[in-house]
Amino acid sequence: MIRHLKKMAQLRSFRIMKVRGIHCMELSAAIEKMDRLHKLDIWASEEREALDLGDMSISSSHLQKLTLRAQLKHKVLPSWFCSLNNLTWLRLGWTGLQGDPLPIISKLPSLVFLLLLKAYDGHKLCFQEGWFPKLKDLRLLDMDHLQHVEIEKGALTKLRQMNLVRCGALEEVPHGIVEHLTKLEMLFLEEMPEEFVRSLRSKIHGKLEESVITLRSKTQEDCTRILHIPPVITHIFQKDGRWYGESLRDPSLFDSLNQDEYIAMLREEMDLKEER
């Protein structure tokens, strides 16, 4: 099939699955001719299949959505990543990058959605001041080695939703998540470590008490120090083979809902969605 792709230069959306390393040369040559692509999805045949996409040249003027679900050869992002100035939507899965990808990804000026699934084997991610000025949705899934996340003041200034899913080594609440993310509306957690959930719950309740005291004081200086707490903070988890959900901000939330249907909806929201 791949040898026929060169005849499809007019495609605007292209997805190819079950790609193997031996296909990369022909695949790269075919994609180079697709100068009208708005959406590109490349999925490897399996998680450990390494793809060499470094020599691929993508016409960056139209590309808006990109999914790479494959281990990347040399475990680094291709050099052409920095040219994707119109990219708004990025999913990286299975890439197993050894170096922090954020310094490169943060240079994409139009990005509004970012999902990282087993994308980085390092222990720390730091979102620095000025990075991701348009990003609204951030999702970190199955980042098994991730232990620390830091969000500096002035980073992710428009972020509205964050999903943290099965990051088993992340036991500390990301510094800056309530201090600096003032636009955050939804924080979704799925099967996160108990210590992480316990720490976040304690931080939320402590902040709510501080807010009450601050409101009573009615001083402008104190009001500016109130940390932002997202209206929706939901944790879903498995126990004895069944799914459960809890609201870390409003424990009564699940009392008025069909819990099974709500959890099913949340888990679908957590997944790798095809469209936004």
Neighbours of 139 (CB within 10 A): 21
| Contact indicator for 43, 69 with CB cutoff of 8 Å | yes
What are the extents of the domains in the chain?
1-121, 157-271
Q: How far apart are CA 136 and CA 228, in angstroms?
A: 16
Beta-bridged to residue 187, according to DSSP, are 162, 233
Q: What is the CATH number of domain 1-121?
A: 3.80.10.10
Identify the CA nearest to 41 among candidates 195, 272, 212, 249.
272
pTM score, whole prediction: 0.88
**pLDDT tens, position by position, for the chain (276 residues)?**
666 787 788 899 999 999 999 999 999 999 999 999 999 999 999 999 999 999 888 877 899 999 999 999 999 999 899 899 999 999 999 999 999 999 999 999 999 999 999 999 999 999 999 999 999 999 999 999 999 999 999 999 999 999 999 999 999 999 999 889 999 999 999 999 999 999 999 888 776 555 544 445 555 444 434 557 888 899 998 888 888 888 888 776 665 556 677 677 677 766 555 444
Identify the CA nearest to 62 among candidates 93, 25, 88.
88
